[in-house]
Amino acid sequence: MVDCILCKGVEGDAELGRVQVWEDPLWRLTAVLEGEVAGFSYLEPKRHIPYVTDLAGEEARTLGRVLARTSRALRDATDSEVVYVYVFGDGIPHLHFHLAPHRKGDPLNEQMIRGEVVEKPLPSGATSVVSRDFPPLPRSEHHRVRERLQQILSTNSRGTKGQGLGSERTGRRPLRGGRRSPQ
């Protein structure tokens, strides 16, 4: 869809303050460059699918594997306890999952972000949501996590470069993300 900022792919990422860290033929993962939580990422289908209720075909078939793989990589890249997975439906009508690595004492809670929330409209019609009580982390922290995330996702289960979707690591707690997915 021409007017959809997410359909623009990497061309739309700068306005949204994020960079692509991984992709396969159907999905892409982007990580934010600013904000209160290093590693906050978005998983979205490349094809325009407005809402989770419209998910079908190959994207529906591969979602579980892709979501598990990217969430595990994000958990490992950030040394987080869990990765919260949020799905909202009314901000940008292109399905995207908010992947929020959570560590004790960070600004996240079951409401996604703590403190006084400030919303800022972006030129595309999207809205930037930040907390006044938690200043943005330095860009260097976001870049460090982005690079680690890219490294983890570019290695398959045999330790070689590739886009394999197998489990890349064992020995850590299972992912407990997805605490809340309002739609």
Q: Which of 76-85, 134-143, 165-174 has the lowest mean pLDDT?
A: 165-174
- Domain-embedded: residue 171: no
How many domains does the chain contain in total?
Answer: 1
Q: What's the CATH code of the domain at 52? A: 3.30.428.10
Section 38-44 average pLDDT: 96
Task: Answer whether 139's CB lies under 8 Å from 33's CB.
Answer: yes
Closest CA relative to residue 44, chosen from 78, 77, 85: 85
Which amino acid type is present at position 16?
L
- Domain-embedded: residue 103: yes
pLDDT of 171: 35
- Domain-embedded: residue 89: yes
Q: Which of 45-54, 123-132, 133-142, 161-170 has the lowest mean pLDDT?
A: 161-170
Place 120 in a pLDDT band, splitting at 50, 70 and 90. confident
Task: Answer whether 150's CB lies under 8 Å from 74's CB.
Answer: no
- Domain-embedded: residue 114: yes
- Helical H segments across 57-133, by residue range: 57-78
For the cut 70, the answer to whether the pLDDT of residue 138 exceeds it is yes
- Domain-embedded: residue 56: yes
- Domain-embedded: residue 74: yes
Structural domain harbouring 53: 6-153
Helix (H, G, I), strand (E, B) or coil at 7: helix
Closest CA relative to residue 37, chosen from 100, 117, 128: 100
Section 16-34 average pLDDT: 97
- Domain-embedded: residue 179: no
Other CB atoms closer than 10 Å to residue 44's CB: what's the count? 20
Spell 132-148 as b/e; 16+ CB within 10 A means b: eebebbeeeebeebbeb
For the cut 70, the answer to whether the pLDDT of residue 172 exceeds it is no
In the chain, which ranges are E strands?
18-23, 27-32, 41-45, 82-86, 97-102, 117-121, 127-131
- Domain-embedded: residue 17: yes
How many angstroms separate the CA atoms of 151 and 153, rounded? 6
